[in-house]
Structure 1
Amino acid sequence: MTHSHLNSARVSLPITADPVPALPLDSVALEDEYLSIARELDGDDASREAGDASLLADGALYHGGPVQWAFVPKVFSSRDIAYLAWIAETMGRIMDKVTSAFIADPRVRAAFALDPAIERLVCMPNPFSAQIPIARVDIFLDEQTGSFKFCELNTDGSSGMLVTEGVTRANLATLSGRRFAERHQVATFDIFDACVEEILSCYHEAGGTAAHPRVVAIDFAESIVAEEIEAFRPVFAEHGADLQFSDIRDLTYERGVLRDAHGPVDCVWRRVVISEMLEKRCAGSDALMACAADGVVPIVGGFRTWPCATKTVFAFLHSPLAQEVLDEEELCFVRAHVPRTYLLDESSDLSAFCEREHWIVKPRDGYNSIGVRAGRDCDEATWKTVLAEMRSSGGTVQEYVVPYATDNFEGGAASAGREVAPYMNMEGLFLFGGRFAGVFTRCGQSAVIGEFAGRLNMGCLVTE
């Protein structure tokens, strides 16, 4: 499978963003219009196979078939996008400040209580200016009121790029999508190019001199989205670099040279989640850590990004210590938009969280929604058990945010005839080098909008 860019115009990202949007967001009317077109076509069942075929061609797969996708994409105006850019870049600046404070202040490091070996690697000198080169900050956005709350921060692989492009293409392959595009000047994000440019910029800033650098995406073979890496390969080639995937278990490191099963590595793109790496500790993970400690081979998405990827970061942002790190405007942003989060331990009083509808629990170093349980999805007895387990394992309990819902229905040939129903939305805002670069959109009907909870992946269009 080769990656080909979408043919529609590319989004021109705002240089500055107005933090006060017009309300409701333009997306409300735009998505209603898109849905009305589909309804006029009696659900546009005839287009479903075309959407599936597009996903298969792009390699946007799940268990060998097309990913589950929503027939109606998110549709933002350029004015809406300016607001999203302000949200993302404000949180990006906060993440940078927290990272700097972690390195400079032992009190901050104590608050995060990371594995000592990881803590040392976080504090190693950074070979390039971007502390967090690649990130995705996930939000629940109420498009009627403009209010929003963060769900979590991602600084590891931050995947979702392939399905976002793939489902956007599938939407435009339908008759509904084509008719909508005939009415509006439609643009899409170029997430792939923006990501590759940031990775190679970091490589060159770190002193990389290879004329055709060999960039290796590192993860566990069972965890990587192989199709996404495959889609990135031609984009790296367009930028004069070679991208390959390597299982972390195959890494060795000796005398300043990091090798995988195929030879020396010029640049690492760390896709492996650090908590998963520690769970599955192996000789290859030790090699990666030794390489990071020496600082010879550039590691994009290195260990420095980990504090802001943990669930601890939200608890820290609400702590008294954060008042020494952030300015008053940033603290107001946190108070308004970061859900209250509490770290549990054996001494925690769980009675404060007995109203289960208001809370969600998450492992402190969790990933991929594993171990995340919302009180709304539990009965009383189960919720008590979940809280007790989280207390014994040292997890977190967080204010549950009711996501904004829009009417939608499942795409795909196998879902023909499905009724329109409310789906709760979540937006992931990509940041490359601290600059907003695109949106990863998905929706679901469970309280946890996760990969294992029947979520639908959504496309994302922007109108001028």
Structure 2
Amino acid sequence: MIKTLQDSIIKVFTENINSYYSDYLNIKEKVKNSSAIYRGEPVDFLYHALFFTEEEYNQLGRFLSEMTSILNKVIEEYKKNTEFRKAFAFSEFLEELILVETGYHYYFPIGRFDIFYNDNGSHVFCELNTDGSSAMNEVRVIGECIKNSRIIGDIFEDPDVLIGFELFYSWLDGLIENYKVFNNGIDDRPNIAIVDFTGDGTIHEFKEFQKRFIKKGYNTFLCDPREFIYKNNVLYYKEQPVKLIYRRATTNRILEEAGDITDFLNAYREGAVCVVGGFVSQIVHSKNLFAILHDRDKTSFLSEKEKEFIKKHIPYTRILDSNDGKMIEEISSNKDKWILKPFDEYAGKGVYAGKDYSQEEWKKILGSIRGNDYILQEYINGPVLDMVNPGEKKKIDSFNFLIGLFTYNNKLAGLYTRAGRKNIIGSIAESFTVPNFIVRG
């Protein structure tokens, strides 16, 4: 990260606060009228940006590749080792879906891996999201707004030295790459369905994908999986055949609604449709993956180098056993060392950091989650950076932040940063989007 540029934003802002505050308000209005909407509200953002050299970005790509190699080995072990599968504790129904062959090469073609960033390369993974990964539209809208802001114009003579991240057309390329493998090397311009349950997901983002896919010549629908009809080995949406699906519906919702989406599931099982975001990706998405990776008895298929990578870059994690008195005593007595996370939630739901609670509150939480599927994870004191926060008294604040690494077909596709002043960063607590740029030269 280029520290001199972080410092420049703060210095320039404090020298002319009122002018830049006015610019911030203009951007806020633009975002309000944009498609950067989450749960009915405009996305919160900071009047700030993070800057990286091309080599720093490439280093993140290499870091992601190391993790990807380990994850691919885990999935291959899962597919062939029935004993190893038991460690994930998936239902029989989900296991059956996971083992269905997708028809293309990548086990998790799309994802966002959130990390605690460190300039010296000792990054630590926070979580791996391969199930309905989102926020591409936030990256686009907030990135464009800040790049065109007054403060960036005053710092850079030529703002075009800043490279943002195009995450829509590049994902279409990724989709089609997978589809061609599925379809014997042929791109026959299939109808594409972007699939999620009505009322779930980020519809504004889906529409941005749809608009660009159509522009490139691919007829694209936004579909609820309950609306599919499967007959004569063809999956239909409103009488239109669908051969390629970009799945945004989360696996949990798929399982909840399984009885109402049998046509979709049967088409998937029988290989009648290419579903990019196959259920095998749930192995990576599951929160208890980190606990399994830290259990050397379960990872004999990994090299010593890979095990050292896990030790260095993945927080120590165990599956919570409420009946293990020794474990509960350790968690209770050293609450600030631990964070509790449910197996499969998002946006910070159900996550508890011991630092946020009194001793008495913490004991109550431990009692309240008894019997639920939770992991116990080492609490990581992540990076902190001063950032411009004009929305509150036009001031500079210290923010914790996470950097998300978008992975498209196992390659780094872009960055997404969220910042907050609380111990959990997410919509459940506090989250501001901060754009990222690579600086040319």
AA aligned opposite 2:352: R
Tell me the residue number matched to 2:355: 376
* CA deviation vs aligned residue, 1:397-438 (integer Å, no higher than 9, x gap): 111111211111335xxx263321101010010111111111
Tell me the residue number matched to 2:377: 398
Instruction: Provide the rounded CA distance (Å) in 1 between the counterparts of 2:229 and 2:103.
Output: 21
> What SS class does the counterpart of residue 190 from structure 1 fall into?
coil
Question: How many Å apart are 1:135 and its aligned residue?
Answer: 1.4
> What SS class does the counterpart of residue 417 from structure 1 fall into?
coil
* CA deviation vs aligned residue, 1:128-150 (integer Å, no higher than 9, x gap): 1111111111101133x442211
Tell me the residue number matched to 1:166: 141
Q: Structure 1: any 5+ residue segments left out of the alignment? A: 1-25
Q: 1:318 aligns with which of 274, 281, 294?
A: 294
Question: How many Å apart are 1:170 and its aligned residue?
Answer: 1.6
> What SS class does the counterpart of residue 188 from structure 2 fall into?
coil
Question: How many Å apart are 1:277 and its aligned residue?
Answer: 2.5
Instruction: Provide the rounded CA distance (Å) in 1 between the counterparts of 2:94 and 2:165.
Output: 34
Tell me the residue number matched to 1:136: 112
Question: How many Å apart are 1:321 and its aligned residue?
Answer: 4.1
Question: How many Å apart are 1:344 and its aligned residue?
Answer: 2.0
Tell me the residue number matched to 1:352: 330
Instruction: Provide the rounded CA distance (Å) in 2 between the counterparts of 1:345 and 1:292.
Output: 35
Instruction: Provide the rounded CA distance (Å) in 1 between the counterparts of 2:239 and 2:398.
Output: 49
Question: How many Å apart are 1:153 and its aligned residue?
Answer: 0.6
Tell me the residue number matched to 1:386: 365
1:427 and 2:403 matched:
yes
Q: 1:276 aligns with which of 253, 256, 262?
A: 253
1:363 and 2:351 matched:
no
Distance 1:133 1:420, change over 3 A: same
Distance 1:387 1:287, change over 3 A: farther
Question: How many Å apart are 1:462 and its aligned residue?
Answer: 1.1
Instruction: Provide the rounded CA distance (Å) in 1 between the counterparts of 2:268 and 2:188.
Output: 23
Distance 1:188 1:136, change over 3 A: same
Q: 2:47 aligns with which of 71, 80, 88?
A: 71
Tell me the residue number matched to 2:78: 102
Question: How many Å apart are 1:386 and its aligned residue?
Answer: 2.1
Distance 1:322 1:167, change over 3 A: farther
Tell me the residue number matched to 1:115: 91
* CA deviation vs aligned residue, 1:4-31 (integer Å, no higher than 9, x gap): xxxxxxxxxxxxxxxxxxxxxx432221
Instruction: Provide the rounded CA distance (Å) in 2 between the counterparts of 1:451 and 1:295.
Output: 37
Structural mapping, 1:234-253, within 5 Å:
234-253=211-230
Instruction: Provide the rounded CA distance (Å) in 2 between the counterparts of 1:424 and 1:346.
Output: 31
> What SS class does the counterpart of residue 430 from structure 1 fall into?
strand
Structural mapping, 1:283-298, within 5 Å:
283-284=260-261, 286-298=262-274
AA aligned opposite 2:243: D
Tell me the residue number matched to 1:179: 154
Instruction: Provide the rounded CA distance (Å) in 2 between the counterparts of 1:105 and 1:227.
Output: 41
1:188 and 2:164 matched:
yes
Question: How many Å apart are 1:215 and its aligned residue?
Answer: 1.1
Q: 1:59 aligns with which of 28, 35, 50?
A: 35
Between 1:150-159 and 1:248-257, the stretch displaced more is: 248-257
Between 1:308-317 and 1:46-55, the stretch displaced more is: 46-55
* CA deviation vs aligned residue, 1:146-178 (integer Å, no higher than 9, x gap): 422111111122101110111111212320022
CA contact (8 A) 1:210 1:266 kept: no
Structural mapping, 1:82-93, within 5 Å:
82-93=58-69
Q: What is the identity percentage for the equivalent residue pairs of Structure 1 and Structure 2? A: 26
Tell me the residue number matched to 2:416: 440
Instruction: Provide the rounded CA distance (Å) in 1 between the counterparts of 2:350 and 2:238.
Output: 33
CA contact (8 A) 1:315 1:342 kept: yes
Distance 1:157 1:30, change over 3 A: same
Distance 1:359 1:345, change over 3 A: same
Distance 1:258 1:69, change over 3 A: same
Ranges of 4+ aligned residues in structure 1 off by more than 4 Å: none
Tell me the residue number matched to 2:10: 35
Question: How many Å apart are 1:335 and its aligned residue?
Answer: 0.5
Q: 1:147 aligns with which of 122, 131, 135?
A: 122
Instruction: Provide the rounded CA distance (Å) in 1 between the counterparts of 2:123 and 2:183.
Output: 40
Tell me the residue number matched to 1:449: 425
Aligned pairs, number: 434
> What SS class does the counterpart of residue 318 from structure 2 fall into?
strand
Scaled by the length of structure 1, the TM-score of the pair is 0.88
Tell me the residue number matched to 1:218: 195
1:264 and 2:241 matched:
yes
Q: Structure 2: any 5+ residue segments left out of the alignment? A: none
AA aligned opposite 1:177: I
CA contact (8 A) 1:27 1:80 kept: no
> What SS class does the counterpart of residue 437 from structure 1 fall into?
strand
Q: Once superposed, what is the RMSD of the aligned Cα atoms?
A: 2.0
CA contact (8 A) 2:39 2:202 kept: no
CA contact (8 A) 1:45 1:416 kept: no
Instruction: Provide the rounded CA distance (Å) in 1 between the counterparts of 2:271 and 2:360.
Output: 50
> What SS class does the counterpart of residue 135 from structure 1 fall into?
strand
Distance 1:231 1:345, change over 3 A: same
CA contact (8 A) 2:123 2:313 kept: yes
> What SS class does the counterpart of residue 70 from structure 1 fall into?
coil
CA contact (8 A) 2:340 2:352 kept: yes
